[in-house]
Amino acid sequence: MQGMKMNKLKRNERVAAIVKILSTNPNRIYSLNYFVEKFNAAKSTISEDIVVVKKTMEKMELGKITTITGAAGGVKFATYISNEYTKEILDEMSERLNGADRILPGNYLYMTDLIYSPYFMNRASEIFASKFSDKKIDYIVTIETKGIPLAFSVAKLLNVPLIIVRKDSKITEGSTVSINYVSGSTGRLQRMSLAKRAIGQDAHVLIIDDFMKGGGTVRGIIEMMFEFGAVVEGVGVLIATKSPKGKLVKEFTSLLTLEETNDEDNNIKIFPTNM
């Protein structure tokens, strides 16, 4: 229907279309004129439609509609989820992860199915997007590989680009900045790289990763961000281990906590972090 005028729509129909467009393109500003043209309707009509959408999203706790005034103004959808719903999701994830069949040789936890699941990563990203919605964030930063689905989901909800720091130095992205870092859990020296043109000046970033034990990798990403002159607005990880308590990163938000209760029995316990 692009570029084609259509018969007048009913309020129901306009409301349905506005909700679809806004909620599947979170944090993207749509001008009122966009809808005026798309629906062949008066601006006052569209304004009334948006009031209906806004009130419903709030009443049903499905999201937040914000109106931006001025020349570049318009309306946008932001993720909002209640504490109650957050708790439900985290309980569901913990339950999924607490199974003896998930413990691998070396006392690793098999969690690939969860961290590559669109359903769970969307829910987890809604929690982070809600939590960091009041911060000015220009980029989501992660390191390859397992944190990418979660980080990309957060990037989508906040409508900002994703930056993936590479562990491989053979990257074909032009000039790069590389730094060495010490893995907090293994103590080994490792290297991470990022293309110089990946991040603009004076950027504010949110770091997202799937797992934190010693915190060495995230500390490396933070140092990399300093090299780019970027401000780190926050760190969010899906799962953090309970020990060591003294991690190399002091401030971070974890959704779930992993406790190794007994190394000999390969006993692993996961529970929602008290946020």
Contact positions toward its own copies, by CB under 8 A?
Answer: 1-3, 6, 9, 11-13, 15-17, 19-21, 23-25, 28, 52-53, 55-57, 59-63, 82, 84-85, 88, 104-106, 108, 110, 112-113, 116-119, 121-122, 144-146, 148-149, 152-153, 155-156, 159-164, 166, 168, 172-174, 195, 197-198
**Measuring CA to CA, which residue among 201, 151, 207, 199 is closest to residue 175?**
199
Take residue 60 and report the two structure tokens written for it. Answer: 């049903």
Nearer to its own copies, 43 or 196 (CB): 196
Nearer to its own copies, 59 or 250 (CB): 59
Degrees to nearest 5, angle at CA 248 with 115 and 171: 60
How far apart are CB 144 and its own copies at their closest, in Å?
A: 5
Rounded least distance, CB 4 to its own copies, Å:
9
Estimate the crossing angle of helix 83-97 against helix 118-131, to 10 degrees: 140
Tell me how far, at minimum, the Cβ of 262 lies from its own copies, in Å: 20
Closest to 106 measured CA to CA, from 215, 257, 213: 213
Q: Which is nearer to its own copies, 28 or 43 (CB)?
A: 28
Q: Which is nearer to its own copies, 148 or 205 (CB)?
A: 148
- Is residue 201 exposed (0-12), middle (13-18) or buried (19+ Cβ within 10 Å)? exposed
Q: Which of 264, 207, 255 is nearest to 231 (CA)?
A: 207
Closest separation in Å from C-beta 103 to its own copies: 10
Return all residues near 78 (Cβ < 8 A) that are at least 6 apart.
26, 27, 63, 64, 65, 66, 129, 133
CB closer to its own copies out of 35 and 246: 35
Question: What is d(CA 256, CA 266) in angstroms, rounded to the nearest whole number?
Answer: 19
> For its own copies, which is the closer residue by CB, 119 or 226?
119
**Shortest Å distance, C-beta 49 to its own copies:** 9
Q: Which residues contact 97 (CB under 8 A, 6 or more apart)?
A: 109, 111, 114, 256, 270
Report in angstroms how near the CB of residue 246 gets to its own copies at its nearest: 23
